[in-house]
Amino acid sequence: MKLVGFNEHYIEKIDFSFISQEEMDSILKPEQVGDIQSGEIQIGESVEVGIAEGLRNAKITAEIRYIDIEDLRKIDLTIIGFFEIDNEGEEDGRTLTDFVYDEGWQLLNQYVKPTISTILHISNTNNLDTF
């Protein structure tokens, strides 16, 4: 099995908002707060894999919630990627769905961080001090 193509990706949804401390407290669980090092946390990741009937194409849909604790900002992002797969060849013990998840999500996830960083940068209220 191997990925032979990363055909395209697109962002289906971006929902950005400033949130109150009360909303932040209701979103975060106490065990998550103890793990925060940078003031930012990615929670609520959901990744679904779909395999087309001919076993040659796959789709990954990922829903991510990102919280900026220091500046009280929340981003909900849904990103979708389409892949071409070769189901022939050496088996490595993984199911086709697990294989596409492991390999495809690794590729698609590379587009998540820059997207979130850009949104956080342009929404930074500290930038307003220059006007």
pLDDT for 33? 54
Neighbouring-strand partners of residue 18: 73
- CA-to-CA dists, residue 29 to 23, 32, 35, 53, 63, angstroms: 12, 5, 11, 40, 19
pLDDT for 130? 46
Q: Where are the domains of the chain?
A: 2-123
Given its phi and psi angles, is residue 91 left (phi above 0), alpha (psi -120 to 50 degrees) or beta?
beta
In tens digits, the chain (131 residues) has pLDDT values of: 888 999 999 999 999 999 999 998 888 775 555 555 556 676 668 999 999 988 999 999 999 998 888 889 999 999 999 999 998 876 677 889 999 999 999 999 999 989 998 998 888 866 554 44
Three-state DSSP at 38 gives coil
pLDDT for 69? 84
Report the predicted TM-score, pTM, of the whole model to 2 decimal places.
0.81
Strands (E), 27-72: 40-51, 57-68
Q: What residues have CB less than 8 Å from 100, skipping those under 6 apart?
A: 3, 49, 51, 58, 60, 83, 85
Selected from 3.90.550.10, 3.10.420.10, 3.30.70.580, 3.40.640.10, the CATH number assigned to the domain covering 2-123 reads 3.10.420.10
Q: What are phi and psi of 53, to 5 degrees?
A: -55, -35
Tokens 């797969």 sit at which residue? Answer: 85
